[in-house]
Amino acid sequence: MPLSVAWVFSNPEDFQAALGKEVVRSLLVTGQGAFRARLTQIELNHLRFAAGDEELSRIAFVAVPADRVLVLFPIGDRPALTCGGVQTRAGEIITIGQGQRIHARTDGPCRWGSIQLSGDDLAGYGRTLTGAEFVVPPVARWRPPRAGLRQLRHFHRAAIRAAEMRSRALADNEAAHGLKHQLIHALVECLSARSVDEETEGACRHRDTLARFEDLLDAEPLPGIAEIIVALGTSHRMLRECCKTHLGMGPERYRRLRGMLLVHRALRSGSPDTPSVSELARRYGLRDLSRFGANYRALYGELPSATSRDALHPRSGSSHIPAAWRPRVKL
């Protein structure tokens, strides 16, 4: 049975959870202001696709499952995603292969579409439709024929619109099955074009360095940049170059923002055993406590004490599940 959900979010952690924390390992908002995002997701017999509309710049660390391929493309005229340091432009598609880890960032308001499907299914459809071996590189940017991309966007948009309008069209198994085949057929046509920029060996090494950088930032206590450089076996200059290209900022600032996110997550847990704010700040490498409160408020719109208080004493009648998580429509 097809499943369709549409959400509006005011909290980035809820947005990350809806995207799937096993795929989006971290979501770090870098823009200031009220967070707002809209997400529509549809699953048709193991084919998953989505449309996102975001207002603030952010950096997502994405880990594609070992058996799936992720396809990303811009929607509308808003600036597109930058994946692995490469920005997608109108008329282009980014593919991220099975088991790959990559940073996808936005530099302001952004609308994007995605398709996630089995790598084996895509290869099988590709062989059937093209009569040749069909291999998707680890990371690549494609410039498909206009007709193929127009078809892909048409089928994607029609399904997203049906979900957002609470249409029961997707509840018809035969119609859903037909839509799935049309989407994959259009995708294969787009990826059959030879106009493709594959990731270079150097870019692949940089992406791997940043994936290991993310692994180290999950440690407690949060290691310093000097420790991180030693663990990565690289130089500060090389790490800075990788971060500037892929993250849009230097490693020190990214580490500091990740530390703020970890403090925020700990305070939101609502556990009575949560350490004090100052202890959490030190644990996550935020040494300048005099500036911590102001920086925290600039990012999250409230002081750390307010986050902790609201988590420990939620408003009467509130649900344990954020309202933004509740699907507006299930088919």
Is residue 149 domain-shared with residue 238, that is, in the same domain? no
The share of the chain scoring above pLDDT 90, in percent, equals 57
Range 119-129 average pLDDT: 93
| Residue pLDDT, tens place only, 131-169 | 998 889 999 999 999 999 999 999 999 888 888 776 665
Lowest mean pLDDT among 32-46, 174-188, 223-237, 312-326: 312-326
Residue that is last in its domain, among 198, 228, 259: 198
Is residue 118 domain-shared with residue 214, that is, in the same domain? no
C-alpha 145: how far from its chain's center? 26
Residue bearing tokens 């895509």: 122
Q: Which stretch, 4-18, 73-87, 200-214, has highest mean pLDDT?
A: 200-214
| Residue pLDDT, tens place only, 204-222 | 999 999 999 999 998 888 8
Domain containing 280 — which CATH number? 1.10.10.60
Question: Distances in Å between the alpha carbon of 167 and those of 4, 63, 75, 159, 324?
Answer: 10, 32, 22, 10, 20
Is residue 18 domain-shared with residue 147, that is, in the same domain? yes
Domain containing 89 — which CATH number? 2.60.120.10
Domain count, the chain: 2
Residue that is last in its domain, among 151, 172, 198: 198
| Residue pLDDT, tens place only, 259-292 | 999 899 899 887 788 888 889 998 888 888 888 8
Residue bearing tokens 């057929």: 185
Q: Residue 324 — very low, low, confident or very high, per pLDDT cuts 50/70/90?
A: very low
Judge whether 278 lies within some domain: yes
The share of the chain scoring above pLDDT 70, in percent, equals 92
Question: Distances in Å between the alpha carbon of 241 and those of 113, 193, 235, 247, 305?
Answer: 29, 32, 10, 10, 36
Is residue 8 domain-shared with residue 112, that is, in the same domain? yes
pLDDT at residue 325 greater than cutoff 50: no
Lowest mean pLDDT among 34-38, 67-71, 178-182, 303-307: 178-182
Is residue 130 domain-shared with residue 7, that is, in the same domain? yes
Judge whether 109 lies within some domain: yes
Judge whether 138 lies within some domain: yes
The residue count for the chain:
331
> What average pLDDT does the chain have?
87
What is the reported pTM?
A: 0.88
CA-wise closest residue to 208 among 117, 115, 105, 138? 138
Is residue 88 domain-shared with residue 138, that is, in the same domain? yes
Burial tier of 316 (Cβ tally within 10 Å: 0-12, 13-18, 19+): exposed
Judge whether 317 lies within some domain: no
pLDDT at residue 318 greater than cutoff 60: no
Whether the Cβ atoms of residue 66 and residue 43 lie closer than 8 Å to each other: no
pLDDT at residue 91 greater than cutoff 60: yes
Give me the domain span that covers residue 211: 201-312
Judge whether 327 lies within some domain: no
Is residue 250 domain-shared with residue 185, that is, in the same domain? no
Judge whether 319 lies within some domain: no
What gap in Å lies between CA 274 and CA 277, rounded to an integer? 9
What gap in Å lies between CA 139 and CA 124, rounded to an integer? 19
Is residue 235 domain-shared with residue 280, that is, in the same domain? yes
243's CB contacts (< 8 A; 6+ apart) are: 210, 213, 249, 250, 251, 254
Is residue 149 domain-shared with residue 210, that is, in the same domain? no
Is residue 38 domain-shared with residue 156, that is, in the same domain? yes
pLDDT at residue 87 greater than cutoff 90: no
Judge whether 186 lies within some domain: yes
Residue that is last in its domain, among 169, 198, 227: 198
pLDDT in the model for residue 268: 87
pLDDT at residue 170 greater than cutoff 70: no
Is residue 247 domain-shared with residue 135, that is, in the same domain? no
Judge whether 328 lies within some domain: no
